[in-house]
Chains A and B, each alone.
Chain A
Amino acid sequence: MSFDERMVVARVERLNLRELRIWVREGWVRPAHSEAGPIFDELDIARIRLLCDLKKDMSLPTDALPVVLTLIDNLHQTRRELCALTEALEEQPEGVRRTVITKFRAIHSNVNEASGDQ
């Protein structure tokens, strides 16, 4: 599904056209370009709803939004990478898998203990 600016504003009740354009200009939302203007998809709309929550429900100041977005974007990138790594691991022979998991748990619990001591 694809939506133009007006359809987005109609779908997301809490949003007006001016805000949407500012968010696009700032690069917080990055729609596809077309000759008729920006075109948004479901992912963009979900991101716009998240921005509305951050700004309106949690009343985050505008200056803080890019900071929070950066953290969220980093988090998702990391989660996707972890997912891919888990998938790659799942395809390994049982022995390799067990070695990696044991090693991972050893490092992980060491780190936890170390930080717990402070």
Chain B
Amino acid sequence: MSDDPYKVLGVQKTATQAEIKKAYRALAKKLHPDLHPGDSGKMAEFQAASAANDLLSDPEKRKRFDDGEIDASGQERQERQFYHQYANQNAGRRYDAGPDMGGFDDQSDLFSELFRQRQRSGNASGQEFHARGQDLRYHLDVDFIDAALGAKRSVTMPDGKGIEISVPPGIADGQTLRLRGKGAPGHGQGPSGDAFVTVSVRPHPVFVREGDNIEVELPITFDEAVLGAKIEVPTISGAVSMTIPKGVSSGHRLRLKGKGITKGKGQSGDQFVRLKIVLPDKIDKQLEELATRWRDQISFDPREDLRRKT
């Protein structure tokens, strides 16, 4: 394959912009990878043609190329995900009914076609039309706490029907719920389609989820860190009281067992509380005096280890 964009498009160096456009259009029709899924040769040719078109269809870039300021490869295109790369996967079934959206998803596959042919040749009266109703897709935004603890939500489907969705506890962002028979009604004796509800979980300002565990950063005062304390900590199921041991530093992690996410029955995750010592916005005289006195009397070097290792 040639590097010269003019050769790739098969035009003269003196070609007009209209001629370039026409040449690319012809190549795109011939080579578009979504019209030839699985043909990597055509895909490479199409990408070369697209790159050449990107360069030459822009008079500014074309001039810079002609003047030798940029080379053809300087115009790397972003790697594009083509439709057929998705449509080959299971999610591609979404568009099997074709673009008319008749509302019926004829679930015939290779084999139902085979059996139908058999039936037809055996008995000619199989004229009734039965088809399964179409699947509907719905997107649901759920608050962090509702996703963690589970919740019931009523939503209005695109056809105006209201349905109640039980969001199971511990559902993760991007998970899809399948509601059998909640899609569009079927035709004849065909069953209704399904509703697929993809859940987005809104982030929480305080709680962060790690698997079934919950992480929280908890600000404490310096006296609580020095003397230890019993303080209230928020969890997804309400505030609980927690004992902070004497002499903890920022970054210290404490575990609240079983205060994470509980999926159905069985084991629960934990909540991890990361301590953060916070000083008041304004340091008053007393605190200053206390710190001065402490510095003058005590020789503690928290960076000793750091120095030794570097």
A contact set with B: CB distance below 8 Å: 2, 26-28, 30-36, 39, 41-43, 46-47, 49-50, 53-54, 57-59, 65-66, 69-70, 72-77, 79-81, 83, 85
Give the distance in Å from the alpha carbon of A72 to the alpha carbon of B37 in the complex: 10
**Would you list 13 pairs from A and B whose C-beta atoms are within 8 A, ordered by A residue?**
A2-B139, A2-B198, A28-B99, A30-B101, A31-B137, A34-B138, A35-B141, A36-B141, A42-B81, A43-B91, A46-B81, A72-B83, A73-B96
With A28-B99, A81-B110 given, is the CB distance from A50 to B86 under 8 Å?
Answer: no
Residues of A within 8 A of B100 (CB): 27, 66, 70
**CA–CA, A113 to B273, complex, Å?**
74
Give B40 Cβ to nearest chain A Cβ, in Å: 15
Closest to B85 in A: A46
User: Taking A33-B158, A58-B32 as contacts, is the C-beta distance between A2 and B200 under 8 angstroms?
Assistant: yes
Report the nearest A residue to B134, measured CB to CB: A30
Residues from chain A with a CB closer than 8 A to the CB of B34 are: 50, 53, 72
Contacts of B158 in A (CB 8 A): 33
Task: Select the residue from A26, A69, A80 with max chain B CB neighbours within 10 A.
Answer: A80
Q: A36 to chain B: which residues have CB within 8 Å?
A: 141
B59 within 8 A of A: no
Chain A CB within 10 Å, residue with most, of B38, B80, B83, B91: B83
Closest chain B residue to A72 by CB distance? Answer: B34
Cβ of B86 and Cβ of A27 under 8 Å apart? no
Which B residues from 228 to 246 make CB contacts under 8 A with A?
A: none
B-side binding surface: helix, strand, loop or mixed? mixed
Are A76's CB and B200's CB within 8 A? no
CB distance from B82 to the nearest CB of A (A): 6
Q: Do A53 and B137 touch across chains, with their CB atoms under 8 A apart?
A: no
A74 touches B157 (CB 8 A): no
- Could you say which of B3-11, B22-30, B116-124, B179-187 contacts chain A? B22-30
A57 to B35, CA, bound (A): 14
User: Once the chains bind, are A26 and B32 in contact (CB under 8 Å)?
Assistant: no
Cα A28 to Cα B99 in complex, Å, equals 5
CA distance A58 to B99 in the complex (A): 19
Q: Is the CB of B157 within 8 A of A80?
A: no
- Report the number of A-B residue pairs with Cβ-Cβ less than 8 Å: 114
Cβ A34 vs Cβ B140 within 8 A: yes
* B86 contact from A35, A42, A57, A72, Cβ within 8 A: A42
Does A46 contact B98, Cβ atoms closer than 8 Å?
Answer: no
Return the contact of B92 from the options A39, A59, A65, A80 (Cβ within 8 A).
A80
Tell me if B252 is interfacial: C-beta within 8 Å of chain A.
no
Expressed in whole angstroms, the minimum distance between the Cβ of B19 and any Cβ of chain A is 15
Q: How far is the CB of A86 from chain B (nearest CB, A)?
A: 12
Which single member of B35, B99, B156 contacts A26 (CB below 8 Å)?
A: B99
Contact A47 B155 (CB under 8 A): no
CB distance from B25 to the nearest CB of A (A): 6
Q: Report the minimal beta-carbon distance from B34 to chain A, rounded to whole angstroms.
A: 5
> Which residues of chain B (11-54) have a CB below 8 Å from chain A?
24-25, 28-29, 32, 34-35, 37-38
Q: How far is the CA of A76 from the CA of B109 in the complex (A)?
A: 13
- Find out whether the CB atom of A72 lies under 8 angstroms from the CB atom of B92: no
Asked if B77 is at the interface of the complex by the 8 Å CB criterion, the answer is: no
The residue of chain A having its C-beta at the shortest distance from the C-beta of B135 within the complex is: A30
Separation in Å of the A57 CB from the closest CB of chain B?
4
